[in-house]
A and B are shown apart, each in its own frame.
Chain A
Amino acid sequence: MARSIRVRLNGTEREVQIEDHVLMLEMLRGLGFLGAKLSCDAEVCGACTVLLDGRPVSACTTLALEAEGRRLETIEGLAQEKKGGAAPPKLHPLQQAFIDNFAFQCGYCTPGMIIAAKSLLDEKPRPTPAEVRHWMEGNICRCTGYQTIVDAVLDAAGASGEPR
């Protein structure tokens, strides 16, 4: 069944036509939001993480219709456009921290990593290293070895990195 849903996508009200069996990731990528990635397709790797009313969910295994009347946030919504539009947008502190800490290599997992980390910092602005590791354990990276990712999240939280 086709239905029309209203969703607040990265702060903008949108009306989207979807069918019941369409997955949230299919809807987002169809709308041109390509940050969330399909990878494991089984809620294991975190590459498709988006926030639904602030909670992280796997867009690969969530129905698009679940976004009806709710707030949906993706990586595309994090950077702030500067007035005038000519200057590059101001990155979110997590995005800047991922660059500063060399927290990605191939970058495929990065949108999911940053979105997952945002939901952590929104709930707990000053997490401990153990809390960062516990929250992020469902996001898989095959390049970095994770330490730089943990460092980046702690950096964005204004905390010093883990002692090495």
Chain B
Amino acid sequence: MLRRFQVHRATTVAEAIELRIQFGDDAAVYAGGTELLLAMKLGVARWPHLIDIKPIAELRGIALNESVLRIGATVTHWDLERDATVARAIPALSALERNVANVRVRAAGTLAGNIIFAEPHADPPTLLMALGARVILAGAKGRRAIPLVEFVTGMYQTALAADEILVAVEVPVATARRAAYVKFQILERPSIGVAIAGDVHDGKFAEAPNIYVGAVDEMPRRVATQTLAGASLRDAGTADALAEAARDAVEPIADLAGTAEYKRHLVGVFARRALAAFAEAA
């Protein structure tokens, strides 16, 4: 049972921005609704107006332009896990999307909504940060692109301005670049996720890889990897160094998925597994 609200269907980005300005804090942007309606049912949020952006044609579709994969704001997890372009360009993202939540949430929920909700227990942001993704925002003063690592500012917090909507997520695609994401989960959301992206030369990290640990802290945390440049992927010393750096990168928060101490232990274990998966990735 939801409290009364009115849904406004925007058909262009400009119209959505106008509605954002008109209603201010009284409106939320609505697409899949898998997080938004849940929060409203639980009573933790209430908006008298919802701005439905699904009718906006520009926000649909997945496209690979030169070296950037562009994912429109209303693209669902279901679309991503089935998309042949995504599977070719970033297999690790396809694999991650196949395992987000459950089939019904994937069918309705959007990647952009997942990012904007900034729920710490989420899969996509961790890998997307490791891949160097950015978000395209549109507002009254025009458009801007900012790195995802700057867009997510904390637990349920982003840099989205009151007049803005997220238009697309852009992920750089480098053919030589590998990526892997591993997670562990006992409840509906991940207890931990670890993502690695980087270039490999001769079985070694060509340079310091991008490694992020998600779901244990307020937001995905970057692991210090300077010492891993040139390190062999299958060397036991590399795994030890990575596990220690990953444990140092987070301040785990205790919750239903476990104590802080337990989670820090998991971080080390899953950092090793992420490295093993990364070494296997084609």
Contacts and interface: CB of A to CB of B under 8 A. Distances in A.
A135 B99 CA distance: 10
A1 to B, nearest CB: 5
Interface in A1-55: 1, 19-23, 26, 41-44, 46, 49, 52, 55
A52 B76 CA distance: 14
Given A61-B34, A61-B38, A62-B108, A21 B102 contact: no
A105 to B, nearest CB: 22
A55 B103 CA distance: 9
Nearest to A137: B102
A92 B104 CA distance: 22
A57 B7 contact: no
Contacts of A46: 102, 104
Given A20-B5, A55-B78, A63 B33 contact: yes
Given A20-B6, A26-B1, A55-B78, A63 B37 contact: yes
Interface residues of B, number: 23
A138 interface: yes
B255 interface: no
Interface residues of chain A: helix, strand, loop or mixed (majority): mixed
Contacts of B107: 52, 55-57
A56 B104 contact: yes
B104 A49 contact: yes
B101 interface: yes
Given A57-B107, A116-B103, A138-B104, A19 B38 contact: no
Contacts of B98: 134
B188 A44 contact: yes
Nearest to A41: B41
A65 interface: yes
B160 interface: no
A58 interface: yes
A42 B187 CA distance: 13
Contacts of A55: 78, 107-108
A63 B246 CA distance: 41
A49 B102 CA distance: 12
A138 B6 contact: no
A61 B37 contact: yes
Interface string B1-37: 1111111000000000000000000000000011001
A138 B105 CA distance: 9
Contact of B101 (A52, A56, A119, A138): A138
Contacts of A19: 4
Contacts of A21: 2-5
B105 A20 contact: no
Contacts of A62: 33, 37, 108
Interface of A: 1, 19-23, 26, 41-44, 46, 49, 52, 55-58, 61-63, 65, 116, 119, 134-135, 137-138
13 contacts: A1-B6, A20-B5, A21-B5, A23-B2, A26-B1, A44-B102, A46-B104, A56-B107, A61-B37, A63-B37, A119-B103, A138-B102, A138-B103
Given A43-B102, A138-B103, 18 more contacts: A1-B6, A1-B7, A20-B7, A20-B50, A23-B1, A23-B2, A23-B37, A42-B38, A42-B41, A43-B101, A43-B104, A44-B188, A57-B104, A57-B107, A58-B105, A134-B98, A137-B102, A138-B102
The 7 closest A-B pairs by CB, nearest first: A138-B102, A55-B107, A21-B2, A20-B7, A58-B104, A1-B6, A61-B37
